[in-house]
């Protein structure tokens, strides 16, 4: 699963991952097995689940010797290009404080921001 996500150019759903495994590796995975693998990879901070689209992406910090912070994802709504950034802890503290003032408790501070990448924006202008 991890190697598939590392080679993917966009976030993939569980069923896209299963199809890719069947086509590229001739491996037939059951959906429940794929979900278990992804759950393990999430717990190890190797992949992230995008809540809005219910797709998965490899962590951008796998190859870096740094601490995994709270991720922010910039997602192009045209081509699905995705960039992972780490949110500064003070921003999360601020968001949690604002949520508490409104009577909410933040469960997952991961941010997913829909954007248009420069390439797609340039293509629209042509």
Q: Please check if 77 is assigned to a binding site.
A: no
Strand locations in 7-123, DSSP E? 47-50, 55-58, 70-76, 82-87, 111-115
Q: Please check if 66 is assigned to a binding site.
A: no
| Residue 11 near residue 82 (C-beta atoms within 8 A) | yes
Q: Please check if 115 is assigned to a binding site.
A: no
Nearest to 59 by CA among 51, 70, 88, 80: 70
What whole-number distance in Å separates Cα of residue 18 and Cα of residue 2?
Answer: 12
**Known binding site: residues?**
76, 79, 117, 120
Binding-site annotation: residue ranges for Zn(2+): 76, 79, 117, 120
């Amino acid at each position: 699963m991890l190697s598939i996500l590392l080679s993917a150019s966009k976030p993939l759903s569980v069923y896209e991952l299963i199809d890719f495994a069947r086509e590229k590796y001739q491996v037939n995975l059951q959906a429940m097995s794929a979900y278990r693998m992804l759950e393990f990879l999430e717990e190890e901070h190797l992949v992230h689940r995008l809540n809005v689209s219910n797709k998965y992406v490899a962590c951008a910090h796998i190859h870096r010797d740094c601490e995994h912070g709270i991720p922010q994802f910039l997602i192009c709504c045209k081509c699905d290009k995705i960039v992972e950034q780490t949110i500064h802890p003070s921003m999360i503290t601020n968001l949690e404080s604002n949520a508490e003032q409104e009577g909410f408790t933040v469960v997952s501070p991961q941010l997913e921001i829909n954007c248009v990448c420069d390439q797609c924006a340039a293509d629209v202008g042509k």
